[in-house]
Amino acid sequence: MSSAVPEPVTRLIEAFSRLPGVGPKTASRLTYYLLRAPDELSQTLATAIAELKSKTRYCSVCYNITEEDPCAICRDPNREKTQLVVVEDPLDVLAVERTGAYQGRYHVLHGAISPVEGVGPDNLKIRELVARVQREGILEVIIATNPGMEGDATAMYIQRQLAPTGVKITRLARGLPVGGDLEYVDAVTLLRALQGRQEM
């Protein structure tokens, strides 16, 4: 950066730029916004970031993000204890919870198998999943990895690892989005919708 820009400003722009989805222009806009904003906003943001790291941890049961261990979902006695939804990231837990339709528990992998990015099965919480299925008497594992090469590879690997346990393994259905027009749907999505059709 130019020598006309003070070092603290440059450092914050560089820090914002390292966040996913934040390019140099957005990082600059955020930084200069904070310079103009009331001091209270900057202090609140700094405290929230510090507490994000100091007051959260991974649940020792499901590996979701929590303040208390085990997390609220794992501690909830009203949750279905024999059913697990396996997701890639903690954000996926929020997505499933928003539906209000699932009352079981979760297992967070913290990623997907991606040889290109150097992520193999040992980098994920798959061993812990297999041990949990055996230990807790899980009857159904619902694999909810993202559709795509990495998610599909992860789902297939999990299926192979869980096969000896005899647990029922299902995968989220994939197909046409609600409100979508058939003419705009890509061929792969349409093919999966045809393959996953249900009797009416």
| Structural domain includes residue 154 | yes
Share of residues in the chain with pLDDT > 70 (%): 95
* Domain match, 132 and 96 both: yes
The type of residue at 36 is: R
The verdict on 89 and 43 lying in the same domain is: no
Model pLDDT, residue 181? 72
Domain membership flag for residue 149: yes
Whole-angstrom Cα distance, residue 28 to residue 188? 39
Peptide bond into 8 cis (omega under 30): no
**What is the residue range of 31's domain?**
7-54
The string of pLDDT tens digits covering residues 90-111 is 999 999 999 888 999 999 999 9
**Is the pLDDT score of 122 beyond 60?**
yes
pLDDT at residue 163 greater than cutoff 70 = yes
Q: Report the b/e string of 91-118 with b at 16+ CB within 10 A.
A: ebbeebeeeeebebbbbbbebbbbeeee
Residues 116 and 41 in one domain: no
Q: Give the CATH number for residue 107.
A: 3.40.1360.10
Establish if 72 belongs to a structural domain.
no
Q: What is the pLDDT of residue 189?
A: 77
- Asked if residue 165 and residue 83 are part of one domain, the reply reads yes
We report the CATH number of the domain holding residue 13 as 1.10.8.420
Same domain, 15 and 46: yes
- Is residue 194 exposed (0-12), middle (13-18) or buried (19+ Cβ within 10 Å)? exposed
Looking at residue 39, its pLDDT comes to 95
Q: What is the pTM of this model?
A: 0.83
